[in-house]
Structure 1
Amino acid sequence: MSDQNPAEPSSHPRTLVIIPTYNEAENLEWIISRVRDAAPEVEILVADDNSPDGTGEIADRLAAADGHVHVMHRRNKQGLGAAYLAGFDWGLDHGYDALIEMDADGSHQPEDLPRLIARLADADLVIGSRYVRGGGVENWPLYRQLISRGGSLWTRLMLGIKTRDATGGFRVFRRETLEGIGLDEVASAGYCFQVDLLWRTLKRGFRVVEVPITFVERERGNSKMSKAIFIEALIRTTLWGIAHRAEQLRDAGEKALENREKRRT
């Protein structure tokens, strides 16, 4: 972790963009430059999982030159969810008001940051959504679109939620939201990490808003998505959905018994 202190607060809410990295040497300097241009007031935390391609060293160099950039060096590759959880802990400990999830490969366009941050004025979680009016994807083959849309649809059906892009990973959280959803209980590490956080947010009554974005497939480096990650998400979401439906049935049964007792008395 860098030994620099976060930049001095400004009139804006203190905002931290968390960028997990593993072998993103081709992209890191480019994406940080775009973030700094698009939203100069925000700060950036690079959470690097000991990338063998030198990503961590590049992050250190950028942090030494810019007080808005900070680095967390992690011992090994532990998954996207674990990197974000570590980043959330760091950001909360350092007093940020808003914390943002964003990919390092440019699929989440930094130029959308001001629009997403602005919507936090009337929301507790803002999701950059591919599947609301005005959103979309670029350069994805049909099978990737089917997997993504199918995953979001399955999640909505199983959990009974209205959020259209349940798996999207471009998100802005209020610190109060993260403090209120039980981050210490989150066990998901892969693709379903985003579903887990959304589900916890909705269950605790926080306000979720979707803002249209265009998701652009990476041009450089390799995707971290795998068949195992997708299957983990499918299984976990199904189990959460079964538990949710069982709880609904139990509550309905208890209410019916309660009403029957009232009619008898």
Structure 2
Amino acid sequence: MAAGLPGLWGCDFTSAPSRRKPIVLAQGRWEARGSAALLVLDGLHRLESLDAWADWLRAPGHWVGGFDLPLGLPRELVQALGWPIEWLACMRHYASLQRAEIRERFAAFCRSRPVGSKFAHRATDGPAGSSPSMKWVNPPVAFMLHAGVARLIDAGVSLPGLHPGDPCRVALEAYPGLVAREVLGSRSYKSDDRSRQTPDRLLARKDLLHALETGQAAPLHAIGARLRVSPAGREALIEDAQGDAIDAVLCLVQAAWGWRQHACGHPRYGLPACDPLEGWIVGAGGWAAA
């Protein structure tokens, strides 16, 4: 890594990591090549517990990471429940609740609303195409927030637009589906269900990786870079039918875009001025050139 440049990370997160379904980290670095640049994938790391992930977060370092978990709740929901509307106080309160209590409170909120508008959304959900952060099943992003954000806070990392921390360890909210959809449209590239791990999804992963390696994917195109992957790394990304590895790389790509925005003078790593309670997904709304 060049002196002074941060390491770059992408994190495919799960609220209940295990040997079968670990948290996957993609480790990368920026390498300038004249007028072009490379985002080099140095390796994939798998963490089988939340404690291991928390230890990694707390370790001293210099990095910018893209994390596939929501970093805030919809303001509409928070106000309806009477919870604190300041982000840190709200997240501390949320972390103090048990999952069963969260499920019941969110379900009660949904029961009180009309069909078609059951969930409250953050402003970022529209342009990102992301699930509401209060959703507790398929996918259980509410529990990802519950498991992840408190550990990010306790690790002392910086969350731009939300919470100050160590400026050398910066966490951005990423969403791999945002980048994948821009390449593949509605084609699916992964499934946890073995019966749905089809040749079509395998081909979609190959096409997605090709777009990253050639710099055609929007965030890489915007910053004039392409992804470099070793032959072994390429095989690992393509053969992972669950898609966790390539999702971690997509988060790495979003982290690289955010870091380049910061390096070019953007004070919030490319994030727009947004609701300081809800937060924002990096790249939602467009990929500005660096």
**Higher RCO structure, 1 or 2 (CA under 8 Å, sep 6+):** 2
Q: Could you say which TM-score interval applies, normalised by the shorter chain?
A: under 0.3
Q: Which has the higher helix share?
A: 1
- So what's the TM-score if we normalise by structure 1? 0.26
Larger Rg: 1
Give the structure-2-normalised TM-score: 0.25
